[in-house]
Amino acid sequence: MNAYQLLELFGRHAVVLEVDGDKLRCKAP
């Protein structure tokens, strides 16, 4: 599974990915 597939997966589940500096944060609604 690559990054694009992960983004697609998160997108389908309405999870927001934020890049904060060099950190990756996940926000669920």
Would you place residue 1 in the very low, low, confident or very high pLDDT band (cuts 50, 70, 90)?
Answer: low
Would you place residue 9 in the very low, low, confident or very high pLDDT band (cuts 50, 70, 90)?
Answer: confident
CA 21 to centroid of chain Cα atoms: 15
CA 29 to centroid of chain Cα atoms: 12
Structure tokens at 7: 């983004």
Can you tell me the distance from the alpha carbon of 9 to that of 5, in angstroms, rounded to the nearest whole number? 6
Per-residue confidence (pLDDT) for residue 18, from 0 to 100: 67
